[in-house]
Amino acid sequence: MNFTSYLQQKRYSDATVHHYTDYIGKFLTWLQNENIDATVFNYNDLLLFMQYAGKNGITKRTLHNILCVIRHYCNYLIHEGKRTDNPAAGVFIKGLVRKLPTGLISFDELEELYKQYSIQISVDRSKKIMLGLLIYQGLAVGELERIERRDIKLKEGKIKIRATGRTNERILNLQAIQAIDLQQYLSENKYEEKLFTGQWISNRVQHMFDQLKQLNPKVTSAKQIRSSVITHWLRKNHLRQAQYMAGHKFVSSTQRYQLNNLDDLTNELEHHHPMA
């Protein structure tokens, strides 16, 4: 299996596979010019490549992306039995500003928002179900679009969330408060394979948030709710459990939500690899 096939097996989009292939090509070309085999390069070789990149006008953001792909490539080599280690693991760029979750809403406020939504505002059942999935399962909008009726197991109180290019498949618990609306909705839409049909999901979600702002002006987007929910999960669960629930492919994606619990966010940069 080559690297492209490995990425495709991981269900990355064609665009992502193209970008990853391009990025790893830059690194492999450098290794070839330095007469270093990809199966044996080490941490010091990686530092030399980073210095080379900096001297040749590669921005910190681009180098960050390349390092990310190198980590994937090493994992691919490990998968193929050609390496036993990943020299790029844990290597980051010092001074690279990371986007941190902002504007978080407490989970108590989110639950109250869910309870009041259909009481105070006239909405169809599908929108209330969507809001419940955002709040109780922390879904992204793209994941709402993929849900099929067969993914919902009301007797078990479970729902399967299908994988996307950015998230993993997982099985999550449904709350009892969600089950009643879901049961009635599925009964009313017996012949639909997809859970949500009709106009584009993104348009319906946007309209829903226009309504939600009337109940709580702090609410801005599905992304904000997801960030708030993941942060809430991390306060109650182990990191790996929160990672699974969020569907994050990499634990580092989950770890960044822990930063909201730290008094000094600058400590985050101290763990980055020093690079001028």
Residue-wise pLDDT for 52-81, tens only, equals: 998 998 888 888 889 989 999 999 999 999
Comparing CA positions, the residue from 140, 253, 268, 147 lying closest to residue 196 is: 147
Tokens (6 digits) for 175: 């709350």
Q: Rounded distance, CA 61 to CA 59, Å?
A: 5
> Would 268 be classed as within a structural domain?
no
Comparing CA positions, the residue from 240, 237, 273, 267 lying closest to residue 254 is: 240
Q: Are residues 111 and 58 part of one domain?
A: no
Q: Rounded distance, CA 161 to CA 248, Å?
A: 12
> What pLDDT score does 99 carry?
61
> What pLDDT score does 198 carry?
58
Q: Are residues 7 and 54 part of one domain?
A: yes
> What pLDDT score does 261 carry?
46
Tokens (6 digits) for 1: 């299996």
> What pLDDT score does 90 carry?
73
Q: Are residues 127 and 238 part of one domain?
A: yes
> Would 49 be classed as within a structural domain?
yes
Left (φ > 0), alpha (ψ -120 to 50) or beta: where does 86 sit?
Answer: beta
Tens-digit pLDDT string for the chain (276 aa): 899 999 988 877 788 889 899 999 999 999 999 999 999 999 999 999 999 998 998 888 888 889 989 999 999 999 999 999 999 887 777 665 556 677 899 999 999 999 999 888 878 888 999 999 999 999 999 899 899 999 999 999 999 999 987 889 999 999 999 999 999 999 988 878 889 875 578 888 888 999 999 999 999 999 999 999 999 999 999 999 999 999 998 887 888 887 544 433 334 334 444 444
What is the residue range of 59's domain? 3-79
Chain-centroid distance, C-alpha 252: 10
Domain boundary among 40, 61, 79: 79
> What pLDDT score does 266 carry?
37
Q: Are residues 248 and 144 part of one domain?
A: yes
Give the chain's radius of gyration (CA, Å).
Answer: 22
Tell me the angle at which helices 107-120 and 125-136 cross, rounded to the nearest 10 degrees: 180
> What pLDDT score does 13 carry?
77
> Would 90 be classed as within a structural domain?
no
> Would 276 be classed as within a structural domain?
no
Q: Are residues 121 and 56 part of one domain?
A: no
3-state helix, strand, coil in the chain (%, to 5): 60, 5, 35
Number of domains in the chain: 2
Q: Are residues 251 and 190 part of one domain?
A: yes
> Would 85 be classed as within a structural domain?
no
Q: Are residues 166 and 44 part of one domain?
A: no
